[in-house]
Structure formats: C-alpha cells, structure tokens
C-alpha cells in the first residue's frame, strides 16, 4: 500500500522548497531524510528548575527513536514555567499565562514549518496542558510523553518532598518552624529531576493525559529517568512516526467520551482542581462543545475516591505507579468508562483495560470498597459565584461541609498573609481574595500560601476561603473555594462584597451565596469599583485583554 503524501513535502522548484532545502542541507539533512515524516520534539528544557533539567537527555532519546523508526526529528523549544521558580515575579501572575504561551509557541514553530507530527515532552504543571491545547488546535499526529516525577528525600528519618516544604514555609511567620529547619528540609526534599512527587497538578495532569488517550497506556505516573520512563520514550518515538503515516490525529482521540473518561479518573484520585480548567481548555482547542465543569458536577456523586496519594492521604506516588498507575484506576472504573474511546497507541480503552494490571488492592481500591464516597472535586455555584468555583475534598475522614460567616476581604496574597500573622483573621471569617483572577491578576495570582498560613495558624477548620487566584494542587483541606468566577475585575458579584457581609458556603448543596439584600447590592453596583492590575505591558497585557473566564478554561479569545 502506497504511503500518503506528507504535508511537509513541499513542491520542488518553488521558493519555499528552495529556501528550506538550502537551510536543511547546511544542517547535513539528506535528500532521503527530507522525504521522511518530520516530527517536532517539543522540549521545555530549562536550567531554572529541576522539573526540566533531564529533558535534553530525554529529547536525545526521543530523536534517536524517531530516526530508528524512519522519521526526521526536529527539537523545538518553548517556555518552561515552574510554580516554584516562575511564581516569584508579579505574585505568580506569569504561571497560568505561560500555559497559553506554550501552546502559541508550538503553533508558531510547528505550523509555521508545517511539520507532520509532534512528540511533546511533558513535565511541570503548565507544559502538559499547553502541549495538549496545541495538539487539539493544530490537529496533527501527536503523543504526549510523560517525563516523570522527582525522587524525594528524607529529613530526620521521615519522608520529605518539595510539597511538604511549601506547606511548612507558611509556618515561619507564625513561629511554627524556624528558617533553619525549613532550609534543612528544603535541602533534602528533591533528590533528582522531574515534577513534584505527589498528587499535585503535574502528576494529576500526567495521569489525566493518559486517561484522555494522549499518552501511551501505562506511562503515568513514572519516576523520571527510570528505565521504564526511557522505554516509554523509545516507544513514543516509534509510535509517532507510524501515527503520521496512519494520519491518526488528536481530534480522533480527544472526544466527548475521552474527556468524560479523564474527568472520572481525576475524581477517583482527587486530582488537582487545576485539572478542570486545563481539561476545559484542551477540549475547547480541540473544537469540542463540551462543558467540562458540568461533567465534573455530574460525575462527582458517582465516582468515589479509590486512592489517597499525598496530600490526599499517606500513600506515595511511587506506590501508585507500582500498583498500575492510571491504567489500574481506569480498570477499577471500567463499568463507567467509555470503552470505544481511542488511545494514541491505536487501541481502544476497552482493549487496553482487557489486560490492565492492578498490582495492589490496598493502593487502588475498588468502586465497591472505596476509600470514600464523598465527592472529591466539587463545582459550586450560587448568588456569589454564578460562573462557579471549585472545592477539593481530598482523602477520607470527617470534613466540615457547611458554614455561614462574615466576609474578610483582601486584594493580595501578602496583605492576607500579614493579616493572618497579626491575628486579624478569626474563627467565623470567610476570607475573600479578589482582584486576583485571570483578568485581575492577570493570570490568576498564586494564593496557596494564604491557605497554608491559615492551616498553620490552626484556623483551617474554623474559617472559609474564597479566592479568584490560583491554588496549588496540594490544597485539599478546609472550606476552600478556588477559581471563583466571574471574578471581580469582570464585574462579578464578588466585586460588590464588603467586609462583614454574610456569606454561606454549603458544599453538599453545591452553593456559595452572598446573603445581602438585592436593593443594597444595586446601590453598590452604581459605584463601579475597579479591581486587579492596571496598565499592564508585555505578555501579561496581551493575556489580560484576550483571556476568557476561568470557567471557560481561561483560553485566549
């Protein structure tokens, strides 16, 4: 059977053909190579963070595998954001916009050169969704290769990882831990390259990616630079070349059914709340008319918690990997899964699950004997948040699900942290962080430290939190509602809350309401208050002017 014509093979004799030939011949590319499938190896390598320092070596392995399979690889670089590094400037405002920068960077280089396929090296939080968004947008054969989690360390004989260091840091101003102790913990927390070693956003997104069908079966989670990870990179390089010849595209894989599968797996693991907007953004870029927030709301009461990886419980990500990882969780959910959904391997979900292993019943529980039946990721709406907000209730055990309290409003992370230190946040308060959303931040300023400070102050079970800002995938305790929408900068009801107003949070009822008479709100609306960063320049200005609401995936319009 004759192989199909590649879109990258330009018409001989044209100016574009001649110019590219001149460039590529100078790089040592032969006439024979120029006829092969041209594969972009998307690399987010950076020396700024350990999340990315192994990717150059992985890219070399991927290119070797692509060449062996009869393809021609081209390494393409993009931005490489790390929550622990890139969040220092502008209060973390660059973090979420970097996702869309990655997607656009890929479009410019891959579509501009009209390459035939992509092998994306997925690492820290925003790289995976940025790559999947680009895949859905460009719709050329693509595999997302999972590049693994970092090895953690020990401190005084106990497990220590970077996520624990992040949480403990909020205890320094409160005298819960000394700077010296925190530094000693930080020195031991990361023992190798890769992403944070817990059920934070990065590992949650890696697992979601496999459940969606965009990563090879059995590839998530995986220890970075392990023999298993390297073997999967080889298989990815081999498979992407065949996918080009077979013309298997992301929109064949990213369907309403596969999005539902990814939603269910995220709920079963109590994954990061950031997965919701990233999955919505991926679906939107793939041209799907699907309400991901609605899917999470619909499945929340049906899908129980099957595994409790830190911070949801005491299990380690290594134990989830050893138990069978994403594939084992999908096997447990088999009765709910859409089995006709496809994977980049060429198999259907049904075929994959037919041989899927579950190696430890104690780590990945069954649907009939789960760890908890309480919804793990809750989409809440109401008069205060008509667009929605998200509350993550990870882990088993008793949880407070309802409160009515008085609004205590802050407009920056630092302002709230100082108030907590000064004892100005008290039991019965509902802490509101506004002006920090995708428009106001812009880009959702980081607000996780406020929640951790409240927990370190011993108030996590006595206050509520409503934030427009971004929350780490580690936040899973307390009545904490993140990604409040519509935000104050867009004129949402949260803009008209005043200190002392009564606010009701009821997770079981899926509601967050402002208990203020409508007549009084009407008077407040006449004041037209403004919130968030003003007169932005550069990339954040572009983002602020074009971003859609967070409940629409925060994609650029």
For residues 466 and 484, is the Cβ–Cβ distance under 8 A? yes
Choose among 527, 531, 448, 543: nearest CA to 494. 531
Q: Are residues 33 and 108 in the same domain?
A: yes
Instruction: Classify residue 291 by burial, with Cβ atoms within 10 Å: 0-12, 13-18, 19+.
Output: middle
How far is residue 126's CA from residue 262's CA, in Å, rounded to a whole number? Answer: 17
Residue 464: domain span? 377-552
How far is residue 440's CA from residue 454's CA, in Å, rounded to a whole number? Answer: 23
What is the average pLDDT across 163-181? 90
Q: Are residues 410 and 472 in the same domain?
A: yes
Instruction: Classify residue 539 by burial, with Cβ atoms within 10 Å: 0-12, 13-18, 19+.
Output: middle
Task: Return the CATH number at 445.
Answer: 3.50.30.80
How far is residue 472's CA from residue 320's CA, in Å, rounded to a whole number? Answer: 20
Q: Are residues 281 and 418 in the same domain?
A: no
pTM given for the model: 0.96
What is the average pLDDT across 91-106? 94
How far is residue 451's CA from residue 364's CA, in Å, rounded to a whole number? Answer: 29
Q: Is residue 321 part of a domain?
A: yes
- Examine the pLDDT at 210 and tell me if it is beyond 60: yes
Q: Are residues 383 and 347 in the same domain?
A: no
Q: Is residue 59 part of a domain?
A: yes
For residues 304 and 269, is the Cβ–Cβ distance under 8 A? no
The confidence band for 98, taking pLDDT boundaries of 50, 70 and 90, is very high
Q: Are residues 383 and 472 in the same domain?
A: yes
The confidence band for 361, taking pLDDT boundaries of 50, 70 and 90, is confident
Give residue for tokens 């392995």. Answer: 61
How far is residue 111's CA from residue 162's CA, in Å, rounded to a whole number? Answer: 37
Choose among 507, 494, 391, 406: nearest CA to 451. 391
What is the CB neighbour count within 10 angstroms for residue 187? 12
pLDDT tens-place string over residues 134-155: 999 999 999 999 999 999 999 9
Q: Are residues 227 and 86 in the same domain?
A: yes
pLDDT tens-place string over residues 37-94: 999 999 999 999 999 999 999 999 999 999 999 999 999 999 999 988 998 888 889 9
List residues with catalytic annotation: 472
For residues 465 and 484, is the Cβ–Cβ distance under 8 A? no
Q: Are residues 334 and 400 in the same domain?
A: no
Q: What is the percentage of the chain residues whose pLDDT exceeds 90?
A: 88
pLDDT tens-place string over residues 366-409: 999 999 999 999 999 999 999 999 999 887 777 889 999 999 99
Instruction: Give the least confident one: 82-96, 212-226, 283-297.
Output: 82-96
Angle separating helix axes 95-106 and 274-285, nearest 10 degrees: 20
What is the average pLDDT across 213-226? 98
Q: Are residues 277 and 401 in the same domain?
A: no
How far is residue 442's CA from residue 310's CA, in Å, rounded to a whole number? Answer: 30
Count structural domains, the chain. Answer: 2
- Examine the pLDDT at 340 and tell me if it is beyond 50: yes
Mark which of 299, 320, 354 sits at the end of a domain.
354
Q: Are residues 330 and 418 in the same domain?
A: no
Q: What is the percentage of the chain residues whose pLDDT exceeds 70?
A: 100
Mark which of 315, 339, 354 sits at the end of a domain.
354
Region for residue 97 given its phi and psi (left: phi exceeds 0; alpha: psi -120 to 50; beta: otherwise): alpha
Number of residues that make up the chain: 557
Q: Is residue 258 part of a domain?
A: yes
Instruction: Classify residue 542 by burial, with Cβ atoms within 10 Å: 0-12, 13-18, 19+.
Output: middle
Q: Are residues 58 and 124 in the same domain?
A: yes
The confidence band for 2, taking pLDDT boundaries of 50, 70 and 90, is low
What is the CB neighbour count within 10 angstroms for residue 161? 27
Strands 117-122 and 72-77, by their bridges, are unpaired
Q: Is residue 494 part of a domain?
A: yes
Q: Are residues 339 and 394 in the same domain?
A: no
pLDDT tens-place string over residues 502-539: 999 999 999 999 999 999 999 999 988 899 998 788 99
CA atoms within 13 A on the CB side of 490: 24
- Examine the pLDDT at 481 and tell me if it is beyond 80: yes
pLDDT tens-place string over residues 247-273: 999 999 999 999 999 999 999 999 999
Q: Are residues 83 and 204 in the same domain?
A: yes
pLDDT of residue 1: 47
- The highest-confidence range among 226-235, 308-317, 472-481, by mean pLDDT, is 226-235
């Amino acid at each position: 059977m004759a192989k199909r014509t590649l879109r990258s093979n330009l018409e001989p004799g044209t100016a574009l053909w001649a110019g590219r030939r001149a460039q590529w011949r100078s790089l040592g590319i032969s006439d024979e190579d120029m006829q092969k499938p041209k594969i972009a190896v998307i690399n987010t390598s950076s020396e700024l963070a350990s999340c990315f320092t192994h990717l150059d070596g992985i890219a070399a392995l991927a290119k070797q595998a692509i060449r062996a399979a009869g393809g021609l690889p081209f390494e393409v670089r993009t931005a490489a954001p790390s929550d622990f590094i890139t969040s220092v400037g502008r209060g973390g405002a660059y973090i979420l916009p970097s996702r869309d920068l990655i997607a656009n960077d890929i479009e410019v280089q891959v579509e501009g050169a009209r390459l035939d396929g992509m092998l994306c090296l997925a690492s820290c939080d925003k790289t995976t969704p940025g790559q999947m968004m680009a895949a859905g947008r460009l719709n050329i054969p693509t595999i997302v290769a999972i590049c693994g989690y970092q090895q953690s360390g020990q401190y005084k004989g106990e497990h220590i990882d970077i996520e624990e260091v992040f949480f403990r840091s909020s205890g320094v101003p409160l005298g819960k831990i000394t700077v010296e102790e925190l530094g000693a913990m930080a020195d031991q927390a990361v023992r190798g390259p890769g992403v944070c070693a817990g059920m934070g956003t990065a590992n949650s997104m890696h697992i979601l990616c496999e459940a969606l069908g965009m990563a090879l079966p059995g590839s998530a989670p995986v220890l970075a630079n392990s023999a298993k990870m390297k073997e999967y990179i080889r298989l990815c390089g081999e498979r992407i070349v065949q996918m080009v010849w077979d013309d298997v595209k992301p929109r064949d894989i990213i369907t309403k059914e596969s999005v539902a599968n990814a939603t269910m797996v995220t709920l079963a693991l109590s994954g990061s709340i950031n997965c919701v907007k990233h999955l919505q953004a991926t679906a939107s870029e793939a041209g799907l008319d699907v309400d991901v927030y609605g899917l999470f709301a619909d499945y929340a009461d049906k899908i129980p918690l099957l595994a409790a990886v830190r911070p949801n419980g005491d299990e380690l990500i290594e134990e989830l990997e050893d138990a069978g990882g994403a594939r084992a969780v999908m096997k447990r959910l088999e009765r709910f899964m859409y089995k006709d959904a496809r994977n980049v391997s060429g198999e259907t979900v049904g075929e994959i699950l037919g041989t899927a292993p579950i190696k430890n019943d104690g780590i990945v529980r069954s649907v009939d004997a789960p760890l908890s039946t309480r919804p793990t990721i809750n989409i809440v709406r109401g008069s205060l948040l008509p667009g929605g907000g998200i509350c993550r209730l990870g882990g088993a055990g008793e949880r407070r699900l309802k409160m009515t309290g008085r609004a205590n409003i802050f407009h920056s992370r630092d302002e709230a942290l100082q108030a907590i230190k000064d004892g100005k946040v008290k039991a019965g308060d509902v802490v509101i962080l506004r002006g920090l959303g995708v428009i106001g931040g812009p880009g959702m300023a980081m607000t996780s430290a406020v929640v951790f400070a409240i927990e370190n102050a011993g108030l996590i079970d006595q206050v509520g939190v409503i934030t427009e800002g971004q929350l780490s995938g580690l936040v899973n305790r307390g009545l904490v509602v993140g990604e409040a929408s519509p935000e104050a900068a867009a004129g949402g009801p949260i803009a008209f809350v005043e200190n002392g107003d009564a606010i009701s949070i009821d997770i079981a009822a899926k509601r967050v309401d402002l208990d203020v008479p409508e007549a009084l709100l009407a008077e407040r609306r006449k004041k037209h208050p403004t919130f968030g960063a003003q007169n932005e320049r550069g990339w954040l200005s572009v983002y602020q002017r074009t971003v859609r609401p967070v409940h629409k995936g925060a994609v650029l319009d």
